[in-house]
Amino acid sequence: MSLKVNENTIPDWAIGRQAEALFESVARGMPGKPREVIELAAFDLAKERMIDQALMAQESKRRNYQIDPAEVAKGMKQWLRQNGGKKAFQKQKHPVIKDQEDLKKEITSQIQFNRLLEEESACEPVSEKDALEYYESRPDLFRTEETLTASHLLKKASSEQEFEQQEQAVKVLREKIEKGMDFADAVRLESDDAGNDGNLGTFGKGRMVPEFEQAAFSLAEGELSQPVRTQFGWHLILLRERNPSKVTPFDEVLDKIIEYLTERRKDKVFEEFLDRLKSAASIEEVSGI
Measured from the Cβ of residue 239, the count of other Cβ atoms closer than 10 Å reads 20
Domain assignment present for residue 282? The answer is no
181 pLDDT above the threshold of 80 = yes
Q: What does the pLDDT look like over 215-235, one tens digit per residue?
A: 999 999 999 999 999 999 999
**Closest Cα partner for 283 from 47, 2, 6, 1?**
6
Same domain, 10 and 99: yes
Same domain, 98 and 40: yes
Domain assignment present for residue 60? The answer is yes
Provide the number of structural domains found in the chain.
2
Same domain, 110 and 170: no
Same domain, 77 and 160: no
pLDDT the model gives residue 92: 67
Domain assignment present for residue 183? The answer is yes
Report the mean per-residue pLDDT for the chain.
92
- Which amino acid is present at 189? L
Same domain, 156 and 101: no
- What distance in Å separates the CA atoms of residue 276 and residue 289, rounded to the nearest whole number? 28
Cβ distance 148 to 241 under 8 Å? yes
Same domain, 58 and 101: yes
Same domain, 193 and 235: yes
Q: Which residue range is the domain that position 152 belongs to?
A: 144-243
Same domain, 109 and 172: no
Same domain, 114 and 167: no
Domain assignment present for residue 23? The answer is yes
pLDDT the model gives residue 103: 85
pTM for the full model? 0.66
97 pLDDT above the threshold of 80 = no
